[in-house]
């Protein structure tokens, strides 16, 4: 499986923007269709992110904005089961689930990478 859940400690400097080299359109479209089919996901974004002292280099990350009542583990389990069929072999994708009211949600939206 090529998905990892991204864990970012509170207070970590985080840079978010549009990816310099975005993944292929058919892959991001597949991810968009998948996330739209999973209950609990309100929005899905694929910005480039860099978490200082957490990530080795900037990467395109799947940020899931979840309903406040969503079961995170259940959402991740559903996503992981299907995501491996969308991502090419050898492609790694971090997943960062946050609630819609998270302090970074607007920064993620401003990157303009909603799928």
Q: Report phi then psi at 34, rounded to 5.
A: -65, -50
* Bridge partners, 16 (sequence order): 49
pLDDT at 2 over 60: no
pLDDT digits (tens, 9 = 90+) for 54-106: 888 999 999 999 999 999 999 999 998 799 899 998 887 889 999 999 989 99
Tell me the average pLDDT of the chain.
Answer: 91
pTM: 0.90
What integer pLDDT is reported at residue 81 of this predicted model? 78
- The 3-state DSSP class for residue 98 equals strand
Residue partners of 94: CB distance under 8 A and separation at least 6:
3, 4, 5, 6, 49, 55, 59, 61, 62
Structural domains of the chain ordered from first start: 24-110 (3.30.70.1350)
With beta carbons less than 8 A apart as the criterion, state whether 45 and 19 touch: no
């Amino acid at each position: 499986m090529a998905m990892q859940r991204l864990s970012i400690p509170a207070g970590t400097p985080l840079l978010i923007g549009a990816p310099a080299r975005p993944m292929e359109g058919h892959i991001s479209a597949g991810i968009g269709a998948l996330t739209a089919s999973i209950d609990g996901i309100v929005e899905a974004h694929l910005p480039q992110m860099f978490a200082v002292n957490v990530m080795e280099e900037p990467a395109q990350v799947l940020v899931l904005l979840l309903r406040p009542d969503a079961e995170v583990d259940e959402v991740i389990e559903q996503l992981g089961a299907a995501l491996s069929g969308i991502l090419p072999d050898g492609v790694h994708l971090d997943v960062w689930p946050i609630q819609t009211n998270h302090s970074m949600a607007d920064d993620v939206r401003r990157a303009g990478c909603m799928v």
